[in-house]
Amino acid sequence: MKIIFSDKAPAAIGPYAHAVEAGNFLYLSGQLPVNPDSGKIDAEDIVGQAEQVFANIEAVLAEAGYSKNNVVKSTVFMTDMANFAEVNKVYAEFYDPHKPARSAFAVKELPMKALVEIETIAFKG
């Protein structure tokens, strides 16, 4: 097992790693829309936040030697399902033409008052 931290992703806001590689699988912790340079959520709208989440996911994947094409499953957490269509559009653009499995949920609240958080599983084999 290997613990992954990326200096191109925002620092963890708790006692966890950016990702853990176990065998051929990489398990990414939920990524928030935090700008790694400012340590804050800069975007106020759902599209900007979703784009930052995917930039953070890409940074962690790259640090571990994976790419978005290795992603097999994502779990999307949103504070409002009314944002689903906009998040879905950003998701589709990020992964195009790759289509990993996905679940999406509405949650009451996310850390730092974020509108979206995404956790990811990738596989190399």
Is the pLDDT at 122 greater than 90, yes or no? yes
Q: What is the pLDDT of residue 84?
A: 98
Q: Rounded to whole angstroms, how far apart are CA atoms 55 and 41?
A: 13
Residue 125's pLDDT band, with cuts at 50, 70 and 90, is confident
Mean per-residue pLDDT, 31-38:
97
Q: Which amino acid is at 88?
A: N
Is the pLDDT at 64 greater than 90, yes or no? yes
Residue 80's pLDDT band, with cuts at 50, 70 and 90, is very high
Domain ranges of the chain: 2-123
Q: Is the pTM for the entire model greater than 0.85?
A: yes
Q: What is the pLDDT of residue 15?
A: 93
pLDDT in tens, 84-109: 999 999 999 999 999 999 999 999 99
- What is the 8-class DSSP label of residue 42? -
Q: What is the pLDDT of residue 91?
A: 98
Taken as a whole, the chain contains a residue count of 125
Q: What is the pLDDT of residue 100?
A: 98
Q: Which amino acid is at 89?
A: K
Match domain 2-123 to its CATH number in 3.40.50.720, 3.40.640.10, 3.30.1330.40, 1.10.1040.10: 3.30.1330.40
Q: Which two tokens stand for residue 4?
A: 């992954």
